[in-house]
Structure 1
Amino acid sequence: MTHPVDVHVGKRIRHRRWLIGMTQQQLAEQVGIKFQQIQKYETGANRVSASRLWDIADTLDVPVSFFFDGLKEDEERPASAGKKGTIPADLLGDKEALDLVRSYYAIPENQRRRLFDLARVLSDVA
């Protein structure tokens, strides 16, 4: 049985890897393990040891604490799931959402600001 903390840490690994456009294979090679192990970490099937988490954090260029950010909110979020305007509980696991964020930051800053303003107006109207 998977532990909620292991699942959360795995989601954060996947989130950061997707955000920087890195494949499981690339991460595995840089950390010195097989990509199947990364898959198991990302699903929470296997726990990440402290030293391995340190290596993954270094490779993904984040502090180790990054993997625990939002842990308390994840425990509390299911009660608000489904309400209009709330963020889905598994946003970090949603590849489409992360692709959207990556694409958003690829837009030049002045255009990105205008797109952001448009999105805010549309979300207020909806």
Structure 2
Amino acid sequence: MSEAPDPLDAAVGVRIRMRRTTMGLTQTQLGRALDLSMQQIQKYERGATRVSGRTLLRIAKELDCTVAWLVGEEETQDTPLMAQLMLPGADRLLEAYAALPNSELRTAVVKLVRSMAQPKNWISDGSDHDD
């Protein structure tokens, strides 16, 4: 069984992914710009591989942000959002949400998840894991 990513590496990866997708870049495009493979970018974004200082500088330059922002030392208004995006599975949920074809479905998903988030609706089925 593999170890969970270091929380700081995972946080840096989430920020890289968020900035890359905001800029409309694919992992392949970012990798090419940095002379890295798409798989290496993927490992950085998952937090599976620690980003070296030199590479972090290059990524920050390519993504037009600061290293301080990538490592979470530069305060921005998105800090609470970043904490939520670092939860296991949050990125997959957001991707699925974004892929929904219309606003009615997105609204229904938000209502469903909000309903499920209410403690009175919690029903234990014996499983305690994120998929």
Q: Shorter-chain-normalised TM-score: which range?
A: 0.5 to 0.7
In the superposition, the TM-score normalised over structure 1's length comes to 0.59
Structure 2 residue 98 is the aligned partner of structure 1 residue 95: no
Q: Structure 1: which 5+ residue stretches go unaligned? A: 78-86, 100-126
> Does structure 2 conserve the Cα–Cα contact (< 8 Å) formed by 1:10 and 1:44?
yes
1:24 matches 2:27: yes
The percentage of aligned residue pairs carrying the same residue is 37
Q: What TM-score, normalized by structure 2, do the two folds share? A: 0.57
CA distance in 2, matches of 1:57, 1:88: 19
Give the counterpart of 2:62 among 59, 62, 68.
59
Amino acid in structure 1 at the alignment position of 2:58: D
Matched residues in 2 for 1:52 and 1:35: separation? 14
Which blocks of at least 5 consecutive residues in structure 2 are unaligned? 99-131
After superposition, residues 12-51 of structure 1 pair within 5 angstroms as 12-51=15-54
Does structure 1 retain, via aligned residues, the 8 Å contact 2:56–2:67?
A: yes
- How many Å separate the matches in 1 of 2:58 and 2:85? 30
The one-letter code matched in structure 2 to 1:18 is T
**Residues 16, 30 of structure 1: CA spacing in aligned structure 2 closer, same or farther, 3 A cutoff?**
same
| Letter matched to residue 36 of structure 1 | Q
Count of residues in correspondence between the two structures? 89
RMSD across aligned C-alpha pairs, in angstroms? 3.0
Deviation at 1:92, TM superposition (A): 7.2
